[in-house]
Amino acid sequence: MPFAFLGLMRLSSREEREVPDAGVGGTGDKVLLTMFSDAGEPLGDALVQSVTKSESEWRKELSPAELAVTRMNGTEPSYSGRYHHKTHAGLYRCVGCGNALFRSNEQFDSGTGWPSFWMPASDRNVRINKDVSFFMERLEVVCAKCNAHLGHVFRDGPAPTGLRYCINSVALRLVG
C-alpha cells in the first residue's frame, strides 16, 4: 500500500493548474469566508457559494495525490511534501477551490514532516470535525468552502494558541 501511494505522489508532479478563484465557482450552500489577497492581507468577509462536485468532476481537476488526500481523507507520507520546511513566504490556498487557508508567517517547523501552523488565516475559512478513524479521536481540519480534507489539529503547538495544524502539502498551493 505505501508503494501505491508513493506512485500517486510521483504522478502529482505534473504541471500545476491555476489556483481557483476563492470568490467564484461554487454551486452549493452559501458560506461566510474571509477573503485574502495573494500577499496574505485580509480583504474582508464575503458570502460565497460552497463548492460541491461529483467524484468524477474532482478526478478531472485534481492530481491523483491531491484527490487521495483531499477527497478520500488520505495522508501524504511525512517529509514528502514540498511545504514541510518553513522556507516559503506567502499565502497557502486550498488546491480544490482557492480558499485562503494559512499564512506562512503563522507556520513553524514542528519536526513532524508536514507543514504546521499555529493558526489558520481565518477561523471562518476552515472547519474542525471530530475524526474517530484509526480507533482514536482526532480533530480533522477541512476547507470551509469545498470540504477538502486538509489534515488534523493537535493541542501541542507553540504560543500564542498552543495549537498545531498539521496539514498535507498536497492540499495546499502557495501564492504570493
Residue 35: CA count within 13 A, CB half-sphere: 12
Count: domains in the chain: 1
> For cell 462536485, what's the residue?
53
Please report the pLDDT score of residue 82 as a whole number: 93
The yes-or-no answer on residue 143 being catalytic is no
Q: Which residues contact 116 (CB under 8 A, 6 or more apart)?
A: 107, 108, 109, 110, 157, 164, 165, 166, 167
- Percent of the chain scoring above 90 in pLDDT: 76
Helix intervals (H) in 71-167: none
Please report the pLDDT score of residue 22 as a whole number: 67
* CA 16 to the chain's CA centroid: 16
CATH number at residue 82: 2.170.150.20
Task: Please report which confidence band the pLDDT of residue 173 belongs to, taking 50, 70 and 90 as the band edges.
Answer: very high
- Whether the Cβ atoms of residue 106 and residue 117 lie closer than 8 Å to each other: yes
User: Which one-letter amino acid corresponds to residue 70?
Assistant: T
Task: Say yes or no to pLDDT of 155 above 90.
Answer: yes
Report, in angstroms and rounded to the nearest whole number, the Rg of the chain calculated over CA atoms.
15
Closest CA to 66 of 117, 20, 106, 107: 20
Please report the pLDDT score of residue 18 as a whole number: 74
Task: Please report which confidence band the pLDDT of residue 21 belongs to, taking 50, 70 and 90 as the band edges.
Answer: confident
Q: Which position among 97, 143, 146, 166 bears the catalytic label? A: 166
- Whether the Cβ atoms of residue 170 and residue 10 lie closer than 8 Å to each other: no
pTM above 0.85? Answer: yes
Tell me what the mean pLDDT of segment 128-149 comes to.
90
pLDDT (tens digit per residue) in 85-135: 877 789 999 999 999 999 999 999 999 999 999 999 999 999 999 987 777
- Whether the Cβ atoms of residue 116 and residue 157 lie closer than 8 Å to each other: yes
Domain that holds residue 135: 2-175
pLDDT (tens digit per residue) in 34-44: 999 999 999 99
* CA 20 to the chain's CA centroid: 13
Secondary structure class of 10 (helix, strand, coil) = helix
Average pLDDT, the chain: 89
Task: Say yes or no to pLDDT of 17 above 80.
Answer: no
